Amino acid sequence: MDREDALYIVVGAPFDSTSSFRGGQRFAPYSIRLASSNIESNGYYLRDLYIEDLRIRDEGDIALPPGNASEAVERIRKVTSELVGIDKRLVVIGGEHIITLGVIKGLVDVGIRPCIVVFDAHYDLRWEYMGEKLSHATVMRRILELFPTRIVYIGVRAYDKEEVDLAVSKPLIEEITVGDVNRLGPINIASSIKRFLDGCKHVHITIDMDAYDTAYAPGVSTPEPGGLTPRELLYILHEAIDDRVVSIDIVEVTPPYDCNGITSILAAKTLQEALLTLESKRRRRTGRG
Position 228, amino acid: L
Residue 85: per-residue pLDDT: 86
Average pLDDT per 10 consecutive residues for the chain, totaling 289 residues: 93 94 95 96 92 96 96 98 92 97 98 98 94 94 96 95 93 95 96 95 98 98 96 95 96 96 98 96 82
Residue 182: per-residue pLDDT: 95
Residue 126: per-residue pLDDT: 95
Q: How far apart are CA 56 and CA 88, in angstroms?
A: 10
Opening angle at CA 231, ends 97 and 241, nearest 5: 60
- CATH class of the domain comprising 8-286: alpha beta
Residue 125: per-residue pLDDT: 96
Residue 88: per-residue pLDDT: 92
Q: State pTM to two decimals.
A: 0.96
Q: Which residues contact 209 (CB under 8 A, 6 or more apart)?
A: 217, 219, 220, 250, 251, 252, 253, 263, 266, 267, 270
Opening angle at CA 272, ends 266 and 277, nearest 5: 130
Environment class of 262 (CB within 10 Å of its CB; exposed 0-12, middle 13-18, buried 19+): middle
Given strand 245-251, what is the order of strands in its sheet?
56-61, 8-13, 89-94, 245-251, 203-208, 115-119, 151-156, 173-177
Residue 49: per-residue pLDDT: 94
61 - beta bridge partners? 12
